[in-house]
Amino acid sequence: MEIRTNYAADNYTIHVDHGILESRLANYSAGYDAVHFLVDHNVYELYKSSVLSFIDSPIILEGGEASKSFDAFKRITEALLERGVQRHHLIVVVGGGAVGDAGGFAAATVLRGVDYIQVPTTLLAHDSSIGGKTAINSTHGKNLIGVFYRPKAVIYDLAFLETLPDDEMLSGFGEVFKHALLNNEETVRNLMAKTQEQISLDVLKPFIIRGIETKMHYVLNDEKESGIRKHLNLGHTLGHAIEYKYKMPHGIAVVLGLYFMMFLSNRVEGRELFDLDHFKQYFIHHGYPIQKLKSIDEEEMMALMGRDKKNQSRGAIGFVLMKSIGRCHFTEIENTELKKYLSYLKESL
Amino acid sequence: MEIRTNYAADNYTIHVDHGILESRLANYSAGYDAVHFLVDHNVYELYKSSVLSFIDSPIILEGGEASKSFDAFKRITEALLERGVQRHHLIVVVGGGAVGDAGGFAAATVLRGVDYIQVPTTLLAHDSSIGGKTAINSTHGKNLIGVFYRPKAVIYDLAFLETLPDDEMLSGFGEVFKHALLNNEETVRNLMAKTQEQISLDVLKPFIIRGIETKMHYVLNDEKESGIRKHLNLGHTLGHAIEYKYKMPHGIAVVLGLYFMMFLSNRVEGRELFDLDHFKQYFIHHGYPIQKLKSIDEEEMMALMGRDKKNQSRGAIGFVLMKSIGRCHFTEIENTELKKYLSYLKESL
Ligand SMILES: NC(=O)c1ccc[n+]([C@@H]2O[C@H](COP(=O)([O-])OP(=O)(O)OC[C@H]3O[C@@H](n4cnc5c(N)ncnc54)[C@H](O)[C@@H]3O)[C@@H](O)[C@H]2O)c1
Ligand SMILES: NC(=O)c1ccc[n+]([C@@H]2O[C@H](COP(=O)([O-])OP(=O)(O)OC[C@H]3O[C@@H](n4cnc5c(N)ncnc54)[C@H](O)[C@@H]3O)[C@@H](O)[C@H]2O)c1
């Protein structure tokens, strides 16, 4: 399966399938004098004698957020230069969303930009590898230093997903679910039906592909995030605050944020757009800690949401809400109102 | 005096004059919620109670190459975030070429890019502040990490130039001279006539402006340095090697490189395009250490030139040479040939 971007220029292909890495990559690397691999430590340990056995002496990145520090940035770029990276070389970044962000930032900045290919290895990375955002973390918050830099290709080999820890599956599925919500009612109904009992990789492929297409749609129409790309932030306003406070995997916190988005959309519209019980039971069945929302501190959550780099207003916080599944709008909710809604949410659980 | 870029989009103005900083800047800052200043330590000490007295608590950068380390990059971006920098703020970078490069890279990457204005304060920075290149240094070489990122404006207040140390004047003048060579015979003749006795600031302004226009011409036609922007590298191939080896200010080493370019152009064309004696006397009169070329080690210089990130061929080194003043071409010279030319150069001095 292939998805092609349609920017005005600098387009690239996203390849999605099982067992495609080595062959697809060969087509690209043929055009370069040399290829340098940046590989997630955990992924390399799991796959060095199978899927990744064709790779010679990669540069190993810690994996996870540790790859996104200033120190790691220095190590990665210096390692590339040590190996003599040149402008007509190719960098291939293999790993989860964190390694993708860190490796992408290194590729974007070493020699002022060397071509690179993303090879995402987590379910969440179906999201993070699309859209050209690269970043490292500051002590002041996540992803605060980075650039927009498009890869030459994304090769999403689903073979990697088999070794994902449970938490990582749940986290990635959170973004799959968000993309289904952005899509339409039928996609959500289908997804929930196919994953009623359990979230198994077998049924996910079409939804992953839909998810990529959905994300692409927003990104293509607004690469630099000045308008509708904001809709991708669905569930993320409270999600980020919860992720920060409870040190929860990103996509799991996003599901809690999505639940609040549904709750808030119902309230703001004054009618039951979302059957909250239905979604709550589904999320809890799969292990998302919806009940955690009962114990949040309203003031604390509001302070954290106000700090978000996407939130620039005073006295109010912006949310992406829905009129119906597939139809988003951006609304600012005044602090006093919002505090009430957060209390109602807690009472309702 | 104002020069306007003419890219397809994202154009900006370069303002060049005496005593214009505060008033010109006011026009730009009015459009932003807040302004953050990054200022060269030495410049701030010299001008905090005069030209820069309107600035409140700037972020101070070391000044010189110390600003271009990974550690400084971390300090600068964290300081901006500490002060609550947001996407709709403006960053103003005041200093020499080093601070311009470092501050530009910080502006390009914090929050994935915040608008910035360059305020160059050295003669050399008439060159470095134009063209949108930002960078920091690696242990493997200068400017190896960076991005292309255009400022919203360049405000070149010539008032700053009065306190430049002699070496910095000579260094900056090296690039002024290079731009005259790229221009035409008349500009070179004029420049040499007006600076026959000494290089005084009074006569430089029109040549600085011509220099900016010349650099703009190349940059506008080839922002990402795939073609003719290479011509700006005139004199830089040997220049960089000498700068590295003898730790000489950039533009002074470039003048030595320009002298070798003239020597080589004569040899390659087989006729006297450049009156070497005339140029040699002029350069020596102003204090450029042309005689240093007599003691270079050919092998060492060739190894250093081969390492340059702009030099990608094996067994040969690329040079920008001239057919006549104002007409450049790019030539690769084989290593064995080049070694001979370097020996001839030494003998000739
Ligand atoms: N650039 C974007 O647009 C964007 C969007 C969303 C999220 N992100 C970023 O993505 C990151 C989260 O990504 P993530 O959820 O993939 O987490 P991750 O990259 O931190 O990976 C989680 C863990 O799983 C391991 N891992 C990776 N692939 C594996 C595999 N196939 N089998 C077993 N273990 C594997 C990693 O080594 C790590 O320990 C965050 O840093 C977030 O900021 C970026
Ligand atoms: N981005 C580009 O396209 C480009 C092009 C050429 C050079 N450069 C970079 O520019 C840098 C060299 O720039 P530079 O020659 O301006 O040197 P610099 O920035 O290192 O400044 C030299 C010294 O002069 C001081 N100084 C600055 N302004 C002063 C003033 N008005 N009065 C007194 N002292 C002052 C500085 O604090 C420093 O100590 C190098 O790092 C080089 O890589 C970049």
pLDDT in tens, A60-74: 999 999 999 999 999
pLDDT per residue as tens digits for the range A81-105: 999 999 999 999 999 999 999 999 9
Cβ pair A21, A75 in contact under 8 A: no
Does residue A38 carry a pLDDT above 80? yes
Handedness of CA B237, B238, B239, B243 (dihedral sign): positive
Which phi and psi (to 5°) does residue A90 adopt?
-120, 140
Region A276-280: mean pLDDT is 97
Cross-strand bridge partners of residue A317? A333
Order of all β-strands in the sheet with B35-40: B2-4, B13-17, B153-157, B115-120, B90-95, B35-40, B59-61
Q: Is A153 helix (H, G, I), strand (E, B) or coil?
A: strand
Residue A311 has pLDDT above 70, yes or no: no
A288 vs A314, higher pLDDT: A288
A110 touches chain B (CB under 8 A): yes
Where exactly does CATH 3.40.50.1970 map onto chain A?
Answer: 2-163
Closest CA to B303 of B314, B287, B293, B294: B314
Q: What is the pLDDT of residues B15-25, one digit of tens each?
A: 999 999 999 99
CATH fold, domain B183-348, is Dehydroquinate synthase-like, alpha domain (1.20.1090)
Rg of chain A over Cα atoms, rounded to whole angstroms, equals 20
Q: Is the pLDDT of residue A338 over 90?
A: yes
pLDDT of A313 > 70? The answer is: no
Report the alpha-carbon distance of residue A294 to residue A296 in Å, rounded.
6
Q: How confident is the model at residue A315 (pLDDT cuts 50, 70, 90)?
A: confident
| Record: fold of A2-163 | Rossmann fold (3.40.50)
pLDDT over 80 (residue B109):
yes
Q: Does residue A248 register a pLDDT over 80?
A: yes
- Is residue A265 over pLDDT 70? yes
The predicted-structure confidence for B115-142, as pLDDT tens digits, reads as follows 999 999 999 999 999 999 999 999 988 8
The mean pLDDT value for B219-247 works out to: 89
Residue A202 has a CB neighbour count (10 Å cut-off) of 6
A269-296 mean pLDDT: 96
* Candidates A77, A145, A314, partner chain B, best to mutate (most B CBs within 10 A): A145
Task: Among A21, A122, A244, say which to mutate for ligand 1: greatest number of ligand atoms within 8 Å of CB.
Answer: A122
Tell which residue, B139, B192, B200, has the closest CA to residue B325: B192
pLDDT over threshold 90, residue B185 = yes
Output the pLDDT for position B92: 98
Pick from A224-228, B47-51, B200-204 the range whose average pLDDT is largest. Answer: B47-51
Q: Determine whether the interchain pair A78/B309 forms a contact, defined as Cβ–Cβ distance below 8 Å.
A: no
Under 8 Å between Cβ of A123 and A203: no
Test the B interface: residue of A73, A77, A91, A112 with most B CBs within 10 Å:
A112
As a whole number, the mean pLDDT across chain A is 94
The whole-number pLDDT of residue B220 equals 87
pLDDT at B310 over 70: no
Q: Where are the alpha helices (DSSP H) in chain B?
A: 21-29, 41-47, 70-82, 97-109, 125-128, 166-183, 185-194, 201-221, 236-246, 250-269, 276-285, 298-307, 335-348
Whether A26 has its CB under 8 Å from any CB of chain B: the answer is no
**Cα A125–chain centre separation:** 6
Tokens (6 digits) for A314: 């005073």
Residue A39 has pLDDT above 90, yes or no: yes
pLDDT, position A281: 97
pLDDT of residue A226: 74
> Residue B133: which of B66, B223, B64, B67 has the closest Cα?
B223
Q: Looking at ligand 2, which atom is closest to the CA of residue B175?
A: 6
First to last CA, chain A: 42
Tell me the C-alpha distance between B247 and B65, whole Å.
12
Residue of B208, B250, B252, B308 to test ligand 2 pocket, by largest number of atoms within 8 Å of CB: B250
Closest chain A residue by Cα to residue B74: A70
Q: What is the pLDDT of residue B313?
A: 66
Among A residues 125-144, those touching chain B with beta carbons less than 8 Å apart: 133, 135, 138-141, 144
> Where are the domain boundaries for CATH 1.20.1090.10 in chain A?
183-348
- H or E segment at B59? strand B59-61
User: What is the pLDDT averaged over residues B338-342?
Assistant: 96
What local confidence, expressed as pLDDT, does residue A125 receive?
Answer: 94
Q: Give the C-alpha separation, B290 to B287, whole Å.
A: 9
Q: How many residues does chain B have?
A: 349
Considering chain B, what is the average pLDDT of its residues? 94
Query: How confident is the model at residue A137, as a pLDDT?
Result: 95
In contact, A93 and A70? CB cutoff 8 Å: no
Rounded CA gap, A52 and A47, in Å?
Answer: 5
Angle at the Cα of B320 from the Cα atoms of B319 and B325, rounded to 5 degrees: 145
Burial of A57 (0-12, 13-18, 19+ CB in 10 A): exposed
Whole-number pLDDT of residue A307? 77
Buried b (16+ CB within 10 A) or exposed e, B224-258: ebeeebbbbbbbbbbbbbbbbeeebbbbbbbbbbb
User: What number is the average pLDDT over the span B171-182?
Assistant: 97
- Closest by Cβ to A138, choosing from B77, B86, B140: B77
